[in-house]
Structure 1
Amino acid sequence: MKYQNILADEPGRKEFLLGNEAVVRGALEAGVDFASTYPGTPSSEIGNVLFYIAKQAGVYFEFSTNEKVAMEVSAAAAASGLRSLVFFKHVGLNVAADAFMTTAYIGTNGGLVILTADDPSMHSSQNEQDNRHYAMLSGMPMIEPSNAQEMKDFIKEAFEISEKLKLPVLFRTTTRVNHVRGIVDYGEMKEKRGKGYFKKDPKRYVPVPENSRRMHKALLEKIEKARELSNSSPLNRVEWNDGEVGIITSGVAYNYVYDVANQLGLKVNILKLAFTHPFPDELVKDFISKHKKIIIAEELEPYLERETRIVAEMNNIDVEIYGKLNGYFPRAYEYNPDVIKDAFEKILGIKVERKAYEPKPVELPARPPVLCPGCPHRATYYAAMMALKQLKIKDAIITTDIGCYTLGIQKPYEMADYLLCMGSSIGTAVGFSKATEQKVIGFVGDSTFFHAAIPGLIDAYHNRANLVYVILDNRTTAMTGHQPHPGLPMDGMGNKAPYVDIEKLVRGIGIDWVRTVDPYDVNETIKVFKEAIQHEGISVIIAKRECALLWDAARRKQGEWWVYEINQDKCTQCGICSDWLACVAIYKDKDDLAPNGKPRVYINNALCDGCGVCATVCPFNAIEKKVIK
């Protein structure tokens, strides 16, 4: 859709929106003044939309350096009376947790909504933590939508709840809700407040121990007020169907429960919870007391189940509860209708008739994620691999980080031995350099470097670590959709902005051995890697080359295009381009054998990026440039 449509001040208008687009529309209808994020799937599209429309919408928006900073800037804006939205993926809340937890104590003036996008099944994440626990840990109210319309409507309600309680609200989504598409009815736009005003009150806003002790008691009182709201909230609803069995569910799991129950013609009563923290104990008490069997369907951790069991125990309600804790539902990965059907079969003792005709899955070739054709990271990894080979080093430890370059784990590069989280490449490299005698090389992307690696690099310098640190500067936050970062001359609203020079920053720490290379200049990059590996102390290589996708787009816009082809008369099928560089545009045709009996090697022109790295590494000058007119 056109992002401009999200700005339409037309109550009653219907649009087919992505869940993340609906979040933006809902925030605008709520009168949001301020928004911040660090991009991360499955929440990235929220920021992408705001990047294009924030200026026209009269909203301040920024791609913050990391999630903690995003949390802090939005908290300050909300303290000034502005409605503020901060959003990030689930592991981003780990980064923001320090500020997040204290914000619960301090509270807010303007509404403050914190959207955490969980990722069941880890479609693009290193874990599938259930961030509902953060609501319990912090004491914040929590809202969980289950479709695009609710994404829009419920975030508006979240702002109202936040201002009513003077508390931030956690808005917990999951991948399937973020990326669902559905018809969304527009409501009225609320007038924005523009600039806020911060009224000083150190006893409220400065949590030294004396104040914090009072703040904690006040928070506990707010939690009880929030519980009253959750028990009476229209966001929670019961769907009565004259059934003897009750089902408690929330989020995307509700959709599967509803569909399966209707498909099977089951008479079950469904309690759909959306205001899930504080847990609506009175509502649940009333619901479970009317049933002998309660089924609890929720993804990931048994949060609803544990709370329901507590309610049953505390009120001496004799009811059978079926969930994860007694093995009826899986605790890992996202759900689908089949998961619900399997559970219903076991719990209700029914036989779910499968279709007489079950289409056989089509056998398709595997398509694992790969570095794009022309990706500068491939050239950098090739250079590192060649340098280690030439120096006869077989046991170097490679620490990596989170970004496209994590794909360096794949053969033939195998440039990934250890990964914890954003920015961990340098801290873990320091640890390995101190704990072992092995050579250590760490890799980090430019955006991740700004996000979380700078303190680790300071630690490496201060503690005299012996390692090579490679900053893969492809001039963007590529993996999540090419968002800007502090190393680029553009901010989150598309305005020209001052940028941070990575090499100057590294040298400013005090590190002397710093080299900036163009990874497409493979021979020079191999030479620099060898020097860095042999250097005693910390050495930093900045591999600087624009992301191939951006480079491609710029050339196409200018009407320039070229590819590379293999001259079969010169090619010896040595395998350097196909097996060692391993560009995905290069392939072997097993049905076309050369005189030496080996498959001929070709370049797919439809995939070729024209970077020329393959021509550089070919020792027989068999790869030649072809200009496309």
Structure 2
Amino acid sequence: MHPLLAAEGERRLLLGNEAIVRGALEAGLRVGAAYPGTPSSEIGNNLFALSQELPGLYFEFSVNEKVAMEVAAAAAACGLRSLTCMKHVGLNVAADPFLTLAYVGVKGGMVVVTADDPSCHSSQNEQDNRYYARLSGLPMLEPATPEEARQYTAYAFELSERLEVPVLLRTTTRVSHARGVVACGRLADYRAFPKGRFEKDPGRWIPVPAVARKRHQILLEKLRLAEEEAARSPFNRMLKGGPLGVVASGVSVLYVEDALRELGLEGKVSVLFLGFTHPFPKALAREFLSGLERCLVVEELEPYLEEALKVTAQEAGLAVKILGKAEGYFPRYHEFHPGMVKAALARAFELDWQPPEAPDTSWVPELPPRPPTLCPGCPHRETYKVVKEVLQELGEEENTVYPTDIGCYTLGLLPPLRMADYLLCMGSSVGSACGFSVATDQRLVSFIGDSTFFHAGIPPLINALYQGHHFTLVVLDNETTAMTGHQPVPSQELRPEVLKDRPVISIARLCESLGIPAVEINPYKKTEAKEAVRPVLSSKKLAVIVAKAPCVLYRAKFKK
């Protein structure tokens, strides 16, 4: 039995992401869809495994976040509870349906999990997705612990169903990947899958301009109701304790609690811990700020709460001094840590406190750097070597630009390979190659993974063919989404028994169906591979090389 199916009343040590899954199961989730992306990956991984055990649960790894959003939205339109999860940049991909979904709404509860990544642990940026709540006009919840993640998820479904709009559940890496004790509630009944029914209503579900104008007004009214609920929500905790105050949300709540305890300020400082952060609970904030002399705002990344608090104080005519990023107490980048928060509290409240002296580590020998690297035996390394050696033999390597993409193979940027020159986002290796083809006469060889190709590489490849752009695209098909935990891809031939009935979608044949020449190689058979790719790399015409060999770690799973 899957460990997340523990009986009611049991206590489990769970990741924040695992607690989200448990909360969804207690709420009666029926349809889940996701594209894997750290730090959200464990949500999809667990739902995929659970869907094999529970007849009443459907889950799919969709080809990208936009499709996953649309799958979950359609299920919710039929009255079923649905969930989609993605990393922060994944919501950029899903933003098109997400923002219109706010207008048309849902029937069954729908939760959208966005996992932000301050400090860019596994991402190309550290954007603050709280602004998506403001942009869409949708409610947003921010848990600080795994137990809160379970509770907030279950509540999010109920709130979504009551307001008939999706609810955004925003985590960060430290919430998603922290472990904590979770008290298990009662699971929903998953013995059978209850089909929903879609009720036709063009005046709601088809947002032509006349409909969209009306639905926007309806959304704004629901936002007003949500703000009233946020003001009285138990997820927003206010404790009055003096003329000095602190406001925090997410993992910063835990840092503040530690700092107040260690500085001897518990009960002496007023605190407002926000878990229901959008719409911003103005009435509660006004009550909290009344009578305060100064207030420190503790939040990672952008001054989202800080600016809302300053507006609230100004509108209410309150003289409280609100301190935060604008005053230099915290940066607008990277994660916080307890020591940073403690120092900011001491400075803001003019405490006589000095940080403890750092221990002398001068005697410790300097450790050698250990940058990330491709795994021993990785087929990507062999593909890079094949392409590099052929280009060197052709005298083209020094004149070649290598647009690359999101995946393990991005590590091709490191020596001795040095075969990654330009990267923006999923699929950009193909789209940017189109631009380079126009702007320069340099040789162009792009690299993209199999999962990324299906995610966002096909439309720009069609664009390249139609517009007459010239470059070589190398698709690194290791038969899995390796970087995020070996999730399935449409082209994989080595697959678990549960996926045996799925079709194998050949990347080479797909490209050939468009009229684009494609060759498939086994990068481990180096001599044969070099001979196969030499004609392709000798020409600057649009062509595709598919390097097909399973990820060594993924393949090892099938040998056990």
TM-score range, shorter chain: over 0.9
Kindly state the Cα deviation for residue 46 of structure 1 after the two structures are TM-superposed: 0.9
Equivalent of residue 150 in structure 1, options 148, 151, 158: 148
SS in structure 1 of the partner of residue 28 of structure 2 = coil
For 2:293, the equivalent position in structure 1 comes to: 292
Alignment of 1:569-584 (within 5 A): none
Of 434, 438, 451, which aligns to 1:430? 434
The correspondence for 1:503, drawn from 508, 514, 529, is: 508
The aligned runs of 1:423-462 (5 Å cut-off) are 423-462=427-466
* 1:185 and 2:190 correspond: no
> Paired residue for 2:331?
330
CA distance in 1: counterparts of 2:383 and 2:353, whole angstroms: 54
Residue by residue, what CA displacement relative to the aligned partner does 1:61-113 show, whole Å, maximum 9, x if unpaired? 00001000000000000000000010000000000000000000000100010
Residue in structure 1 matching 2:86, options 76, 85, 88: 88
Q: Deviations over 1:400-420 (max 9, x none)?
A: 000000000001111111001
- The answer for the alignment partner of 1:303 in structure 2 is 304
- Displacement of 1:348 after TM fit? 1.7
**Structure 2: how far apart are the matches of 1:63 and 1:352?**
51
Q: Does 1:530 align with 2:534?
A: yes
Matched with 1:99 is: 97
TM-score where L is the length of structure 2? 0.96
Which of these residues, 487, 491, 502, is aligned with residue 491 of structure 2?
A: 487
- Which AA in structure 2 matches 1:27? A
What's the counterpart of residue 43 of structure 2? 46
Separation in 1, partners of 2:135, 2:244: 32
Change (3 A) 1:207 1:540: same
Q: Assess if the C-alpha contact under 8 Å between 1:38 and 1:65 holds in 2.
A: yes
Question: Which residue pairs with 1:390 in the alignment?
Answer: 393
Q: 1:528-607, aligned counterparts within 5 Å?
A: 528-555=532-559, 557=560
Q: In 2 relative to 1, CA 337–151 (structure 1 residues): closer, same or farther, beyond 3 Å?
A: same
Q: Which residue of 2 aligns with 1:171?
A: 169
Contact 2:394 2:538 in 1 (8 A): no
Are the structure 2 counterparts of residues 118 and 491 from structure 1 closer, same or farther at C-alpha, using a change threshold of 3 Å? farther
Give CA deviations for 1:414-443 in whole Å, capped at 9, x if unaligned.
111100100111111111011111110000
- How far apart, in 1, do the equivalents of 2:245 and 2:383 lie? 58
Query: Deviations for 1:366-395, whole angstroms, at most 9, x for unmatched residues?
Result: 221100000011011111111121111212
Q: Distance in 1 between matches of 2:159 and 2:391?
A: 58
Distance 2:420 2:105 in 1: 42
Tell me, yes or no, if structure 1 residue 354 matches structure 2 residue 355: yes
> How far off is 1:268 after superposition?
1.4
**Distance in 2, Cα, partners of 1:29 & 1:325:** 42
Q: How does 1:103-502 map to 2 (within 5 A)?
A: 103-191=101-189, 194-240=194-240, 242-266=241-265, 267-355=268-356, 358=359, 360=361, 363-393=366-396, 394-488=398-492, 494=499, 496-502=501-507
1:241-284 Cα offsets, whole Å, 9 max, x none, are x2321111000000001101101111212100010000000000
CA distance in 1 between partners of 2:535 and 2:352 (Å): 68
Aligned partner (choices 18, 30, 33) of residue 33 of structure 1: 30
Q: SS where residue 440 of structure 1 aligns?
A: strand
Question: 1:527, CA displacement in angstroms?
Answer: 2.9
Offset at 1:551? 2.8
Q: Using the TM superposition, name which of 348-357 and 135-144 deviates more.
A: 348-357
CA distance in 2, matches of 1:356, 1:442: 50
% same residue: 50
Q: Is the 8 A contact 1:145 1:154 kept in 2?
A: yes
C-alpha displacement at 1:495, in angstroms?
6.0
Contact 1:51 1:492 in 2 (8 A): no
Q: Give, as a single letter, the amino acid of the residue that structure 1 aligns with 2:318.
A: I
**How big is the shift at 1:492?**
11
Give yes or no for contact 1:31–1:191 (8 Å, CA) kept in 2.
yes
Instruction: After TM superposition, give the deviation of residue 535 of structure 1 in Å.
Output: 1.7
Cα pair 2:343 2:355 within 8 Å, conserved: no
Contact map agreement 1:61 1:493 (CA 8 A) in 2: no
CA distance in 2, matches of 1:73, 1:493: 21
Is the 2:482–2:554 Cα contact (8 Å) retained in structure 1? no
Does the CA contact (< 8 Å) of 1:19 and 1:179 recur in 2? yes
| 1:28 positional shift | 0.2
Inter-partner Cα distance in structure 2 for 1:351 and 1:378? 56
Secondary structure in 1 aligned to 2:59?
A: strand
Distance in 1, Cα, partners of 2:421 & 2:358: 46
- Residues 1:24 and 2:21 aligned together: yes
* SS of aligned partner of 1:321: strand
For residue 56 of structure 1, give the secondary structure of its aligned residue in structure 2.
coil
Instruction: Provide the C-alpha distance between the structure 2 equivalents of 1:159 and 1:56, rounded to a whole number of angstroms.
Output: 22
Write out the 4+ residue segments of structure 1 that deviate beyond 4 Å after TM superposition: 489-495
Alpha-carbon contact 2:519-2:533 (below 8 Å) kept: no
Residues 227, 281 of structure 2: 8 Å contact kept: yes
Question: Alpha-carbon deviation of 1:51?
Answer: 1.7
- Give the AA of the match of 2:27: A
Distance in 2 separating the partners of 1:492 and 1:204: 42
Compute the displacement of 1:356 (Å).
5.5
The alpha carbon displacement at 1:357 in A equals 6.5
Alpha-carbon separation, structure 1, partners of 2:207 and 2:496 = 32
For 1:26, give the aligned amino acid.
G
Aligned counterparts of 1:285 and 1:416: Cα–Cα separation in 2: 52
Q: Residues 31 and 190 of structure 1 are in contact (CA less than 8 Å); yes or no, is this contact kept in structure 2?
A: yes
Contact between 2:472 and 2:540, CA under 8 Å: does it hold in 1? no
Whether the 8 Å contact between 1:113 and 1:158 is mirrored in structure 2 is yes
Q: Please list every run of 5 or more consecutive structure 2 residues that lacks an aligned counterpart in the other structure.
A: none
Query: Cα–Cα, structure 1 residues 251 and 495, in superposed 2: closer, same or farther, change >3 Å?
Result: farther
Supply the AA of the counterpart residue of 2:443.
K
| Alpha-carbon offset, residue 353 of structure 1 | 3.6
What's the offset of the Cα at 1:133? 0.2
Cα distance in structure 1, aligned partners of 2:424 and 2:299: 28
Aligned length: 551
1:488, 1:187 → 2: CA distance? 38
Give the residue type in structure 2 aligned to 1:23. Answer: I
Task: Please list the CA deviations of residues 465-512 of structure 1 after superposition, one character each: whole Å capped at 9, or x if unmatched.
Answer: 11111000001000000000222366997563123111111111111x
Contact 1:14 1:183 in 2 (8 A): yes
SS class of match (2:261): helix
CA separation in 2, counterparts of 1:502 and 1:495? 18
**Partners of 1:551 and 1:316 in 2: how far apart?**
65
Matches of 1:62 and 1:110 in 2, distance apart?
18
